[in-house]
Amino acid sequence: MEHDSLERRISGRKAKDIFEQIRKVGTVSKIDLLDKSGLTGSTLTRTLEELTAQGLILEAGFGESTGGRRPILYTINPNYAYVFGLDISRMYSKLMLFDLQMNKLESKTWVMTESLSPDVLFDEIVLTAQKMMSGRGISSNKVLGMGVGAVGPVDRASGTILEPLYFPSEGWNQVHVTDVLGQRLGFPVLLDNGANTALIGESWSDRGRDYRHLLYIHVGVGLRSAMMTNGQVVYGAVDMEGAVGQMIIQTDGTRLWDEGNFGAWESYASIHALERQAQRRLKQGRDSLLLRMEPDPEKITFAHLGQALRENDPLTVELFTQAATYFGIGLSNLLNILHPEKVILGGALIGSHPGFFHTATRVAIQRTYYYPKYQVVFSQGSLGEDALATGAAIMVINKLTGV
């Protein structure tokens, strides 16, 4: 099945719009659809009958009467088709299976180690997807496709992961994700960078609010960003997912991994930056609970830092507060340039401790021009670590209506 066949499953713009309205609300009455669609009653009835006959939607009983007959309710048929979402990140990768209502059915997570090359991970993904399908009696023609949200930069058109940094395993340059997985699985595979798919997922989960301008920042091994305006992801001339981490916040500063800009944002507010700072302070003779966990400063990892933070180790608290402050400074620069209505912050560093989120957003607001006239909503999102894979799956379903 080719990619464009997804768009042909629902014929006509009217049917696509009605399907999308039902999908967005969940369960909706025929009367509400008539009010919102602008269609005549006969055209709406015919469109609903066509979608029902195809199995895309179901009648879901009757709504409350407003004086006349009780209106028919419609909802998406969850069993019409299924969709996979795949998150390929530096620390973890995750595969999730959903029905058409985006109910999560199954998931599997892999810790990304030196042994998980693309070939090894793809073998695992194909085997796991097939097991999920066979265990639920799902044939490949009942799967719309698999969406992949991956560490960038990526080429969406060719479905290729280009030259990402910081993967623990070798071999992640020029990886043709969609071709390899699509051929082995027998259904369409779509690729975008993980920050974009996370934003798609979070926007969908909060679709009742109808924010027009959204900004997403993922704070993990590096910094990744995505933007959305009027429900559409904003794309640049090249994939810009990881570029935000190269924003310079201190011109004479250091840089990570001996690459990128000196004084770049991710050199002060990322997992590796925290690990490096902890190692330096310990080598300088600072006392810390960290040394009782691991006597060799060179072997201190983010896992050690997380445990020490939970136990309120003074040095670790100091390092996290410093990183959160630097992150807030960079975030204020983005607010002053982009003026989003809502900012969603995700990733392992954001979720490590509530204090990081609160410190970072407080620092950002203090440095935001036009505040308090300009109001921005900060959120840690509602999907957590499922955001990237969830949004990747939604990206496939969006193809049905060309959203």
In the chain, the percentage of residues whose pLDDT exceeds 90 is 74
Are 72 and 86 in the same domain?
no
With tokens 């979608």, the residue in question is: 51
Whether 315 and 287 have beta carbons less than 8 Å apart is answered as yes
Residues 303-345: tens digit of each pLDDT: 999 999 999 999 999 999 999 999 999 999 999 999 999 999 9
- Asked, for residue 14, whether it belongs to a domain, the answer is yes
Are 346 and 301 in the same domain?
yes
- Asked, for residue 17, whether it belongs to a domain, the answer is yes
For residue 53, the domain's CATH number is: 1.10.10.10
Of the three residues 26, 48, 76, the one that is the final residue of a domain is: 76
Are 196 and 331 in the same domain?
no
With tokens 């921005």, the residue in question is: 376
- Asked, for residue 131, whether it belongs to a domain, the answer is yes
Query: What does the pLDDT read at residue 370?
Result: 86
Domain with 333, as residue range(s), is 210-380
- Asked, for residue 297, whether it belongs to a domain, the answer is yes
pTM of the model: 0.91
Query: What does the pLDDT read at residue 312?
Result: 94
- Asked, for residue 62, whether it belongs to a domain, the answer is yes
- Asked, for residue 102, whether it belongs to a domain, the answer is yes
DSSP secondary structure of 195-210: HHHHHHHHHHHTTTT-
Residues 264-300: tens digit of each pLDDT: 999 999 999 999 999 999 999 999 999 999 999 999 9
346 bridge partner residues: 218
> How much is the average pLDDT of 222-226?
91
237 pLDDT band, cuts 50/70/90, is confident
Q: How many domains does the chain have?
A: 3
Residues 158-203: tens digit of each pLDDT: 999 998 888 889 999 999 999 999 999 999 999 999 999 999 999 9
Are 58 and 91 in the same domain?
no
Are 67 and 126 in the same domain?
no
Tokens of 58: 């179901």
* Sequence-ordered list of residues with C-beta below 8 angstroms from that of 379, at least 6 positions apart, any chain: 202, 342, 343, 344, 345
Parallel, antiparallel, or unpaired: how do β-strands 92-99 and 104-111 relate?
A: antiparallel
Are 130 and 191 in the same domain?
yes
Of the three residues 47, 76, 105, the one that is the final residue of a domain is: 76
Peptide bond into 372 cis (omega under 30): yes
Are 326 and 362 in the same domain?
yes
Parallel, antiparallel, or unpaired: how do β-strands 160-161 and 154-155 relate?
A: antiparallel
- Asked, for residue 403, whether it belongs to a domain, the answer is no
Residues 69-111: tens digit of each pLDDT: 787 899 999 999 999 999 999 989 999 999 999 999 999 999 9
Are 165 and 214 in the same domain?
no
With tokens 């369960």, the residue in question is: 27
Sheet containing 154-155: which strands, arranged edge to edge? 154-155, 160-161, 175-176
Are 160 and 109 in the same domain?
yes
For residue 230, the domain's CATH number is: 3.30.420.40
Looking at residue 172, the DSSP 8-state letter turns out to be -
Percent of the chain that is helix, strand, coil (3-state, to 5): 45, 20, 35
Are 240 and 350 in the same domain?
yes
Are 142 and 215 in the same domain?
no
Query: What does the pLDDT read at residue 31?
Result: 87
